[in-house]
Amino acid sequence: MTADPILKERLSHAVADVPLDVEQRLAEIRGGRRSPSQEPRSRRPLTFLVAAALVALIGLVLWQVRPATDRGVADTSVQPTGTIAYASEVGAGTDTFDVHAYALETASSDDVLVVAGEVPDESPFVRWSPDGTRLAYVRTGEHPAIVIANADGSSPQDVDVGVPLEHGLFAWSPDGTRIAFTAVNPDPESAATPLAILDLTTGDVQTLWQTDGSWRSFDWSPDGTTFALTGGPLDANNAISGEDLGLYVVNADGSDFHPILRGSTVRYVRWSPDGTRLAFGLRKGDDGDYRYDVATAAPDGSDLSVLTSWAGWDNVPVWSPDGRWIAFSSDRDASPEQLEINASRADGDVGGFGVYVMRADGTDVRQLVPSGDDDVRAPVDWRA
Amino acid sequence: MDADATMRATSDAGSSERAAAGSFDRFFRAWFPAVARSAALVARDRDAGPDLAQEAFARVYERWAGLASVDHARNLAFRAAINLAKTHRARSIRSSPAGLDAGLDSRRHASEDAGADPSDPETATTQRLIVLDALGALSPRQRACVVLVDYADLETSVAASVLGTAEATVRVHLRRGRAKLRERLTPSPEEESL
């Protein structure tokens, strides 16, 4: 794509006579002087100290007025660390996402991991391998494939799985030798998307036909024995009845498939690193697919704990590697106008979704990556 | 444009050229004009462009000995200048919400009344302000992509390297940014009939 000559002329004309003082500026740089617009260095420490004091004061005030909770006392000395991968819509309504890496220690998020347009908007998930050396995503569309790249997104390689892919949902096995994904039932009459497992060393694919339903998310347990899935089995009309909708588990060999939470719309399930909890988005109310809370439960569906209570979208939870924190997507800081649009899903112009983090008990919610009204952002993975 | 020729010649020669200490002056003279004016366009502030670029080049100078190539240095200079311009723009909006837009309407009408003679200094100034105003309709990323490709003549792959994003992302922003810019710069039928 080359320059547009008409725009080039207009842009060039707009700045053609900007005085540059090239030689003077070069001399200043060689003499160690920065631009005149930069603050004198002698003022910087004072400015920094004032800013730091203000931040500390604001932090103290916010800490004092935080909502009370009865969920127990969190270990406040532990702070979230590592790097969170989050998906960010390229432009409103473009249906394509970048995936960025947000480094918690430096609060920076400059790096883009994955090519935009290759990550489907329905489930723009990118996940690092358990050893952190690779990342994978599923490219759907005209040339679907599982793509495995270096941990920074470089050198992507397509992996031919030999069967149609669906949704972009996948999970690494804990030992990094296999990838489970949602496949397409080859029966053209079926809308089912059963789980399949690709052995990366042999290329063999095993389909778990026991899971021949419609799944919106799933995850592989840390001990490798079990899958948790959200969605439900299909009836004769290729639909999920309301009572069948929910959270399911199945052994990794396809046996013992059964629901653990029925009659609820559940999305974006993730297993905690120690395998003792499942985190997911739990829909509340019946006014469309919008109002969700982040919740956790034991792997048998017991001990359900709803962690958030925002009136809009709190969803897409992702555990920290140490299991103490949960990142999630929320529109809690969107403008009132944008919240109305989100609630009505008007024209697909939803936005105002940022990335947040909270302790695993639901306390200490913090905004990590803010969002403009045009933006849709959600965490997709977290590594140490 | 002379700067264009210099830029292209330097880019052609620079891909395999090591960014040695002695060549910084040549690199600076070749690229400072384009980086400064790009920063002015992204910041929508003609006066700020050279200062922002000087700061960007100062950062390049500090790292000059360790840079692998002139292309690398060029990308770094553009990236730093663009990021500084975005920050400058955000600060400008906070400190002066009306900013550039103030008075533009009256200038636009005065220009129309004067018959839009392009040689008239007032008309030329108004036209420049109209372009900077139109750039405000673009998101910062769209603006950066349009400026880097349509003003600075960078390939989309190079713009992607500058912005630290994928080429496909640049193309998406470029397409949308150009559409918005054309829409803002093209007179409506009512305006043309005046």
Burial code (b: 16+ CB inside 10 Å, e: under 16) for A371-380 equals: bebebbbbbb
Q: Which DSSP state fits A11?
A: H
Among the partner-chain residues A15, A18, A90, the one whose CB lies closest to the CB of B169 is A90
User: What pLDDT does residue A90 have?
Assistant: 62
Tell me: pLDDT of B50 over 70: yes
Cα–Cα nearest to A229, from A271, A275, A277, A269: A269
- What residues of B are in contact with residue A111 (Cβ under 8 Å)? 164
Cα–Cα nearest to A97, from A376, A342, A373, A353: A376
Number of inter-chain CB pairs under 8 A, A vs B: 138
**Geometric angle at alpha carbon B112, from B106 and B113, rounded to 5°:** 90
Contacts of B119 (CB under 8 A, 6+ apart): none
Give the residue from A6, A7, A119 with the most B CB atoms within 10 Å of its CB, the best one to mutate: A7
> Which tokens hold the place of B137?
């309709």
> Which tokens hold the place of A5?
């000559």
User: What pLDDT does residue A76 have?
Assistant: 58
Q: Are strands A325-330 and A205-208 parallel, antiparallel or unpaired?
A: unpaired
Tell me: pLDDT of B183 over 80: yes
User: Which residues sit opposite A258 in a β-bridge?
Assistant: A249
User: What pLDDT does residue B126 have?
Assistant: 82
A33: nearest CA partner in chain B: B58
pLDDT in tens, A344-362: 765 456 788 999 999 999 9
Choose the weakest-confidence range: A159-168, A313-322, B39-48, B123-132: A159-168
Q: Are strands A165-172 and A178-183 parallel, antiparallel or unpaired?
A: antiparallel
| A223 burial type by CB count under 10 A (0-12 exposed, 13-18 middle, 19+ buried) | exposed
Among the partner-chain residues B1, B61, B172, the one whose CB lies closest to the CB of A96 is B172
Evaluate whether B142 touches B136 at the Cβ level (below 8 Å): no
Comparing A48 with B141, the larger pLDDT belongs to B141
Q: How far is A155 from chain B (nearest CA, A)?
A: 13
**Torsion, CA A59, CA A60, CA A62, CA A66, rounded to 10:** 130
Phi, psi of B59 (to 5 degrees): -70, -40
Q: Is the pTM of this model over 0.80?
A: no
pLDDT in tens, B81-120: 887 887 676 555 444 434 444 445 555 555 555 555 656 6
Q: Which DSSP state fits A3?
A: -
B118: nearest CA partner in chain A: A13
Q: CB distance from A93 to chain B under 8 Å? A: no
The alpha carbon of residue B61 and the mean position of all alpha carbons in its chain are separated, in whole angstroms, by 21
Q: CB distance from A101 to chain B under 8 Å? A: no
> Which tokens hold the place of B153?
């003549």
DSSP labels, chain B: -HHHHHHHHHHHHHTT----GGGHHHHHHHHHHHHHHHHHHHHT-TTHHHHHHHHHHHHHHHHGGG-S-HHHHHHHHHHHHHHHHHHHHHHHHHH-SSGGGTTHHHHHHHHHHTT--TTSHHHHHHHHHHHHHHHTTS-HHHHHHHIIIIIS---HHHHHHHHTS-HHHHHHHHHHHHHHHHHHHSPPHHHHH-
Tell me: pLDDT of B70 over 90: no
Cα–Cα nearest to A96, from B152, B175, B194: B175
- What residues of A are in contact with residue B161 (Cβ under 8 Å)? none
In the predicted model, residues of chain A with pLDDT beneath 50 are 38-48, 63-73, 116-117, 120-122, 347
Q: What one-letter code names the amino acid at B138?
A: L
- Judge: A115–B169 Cβ closer than 8 Å, yes or no: yes
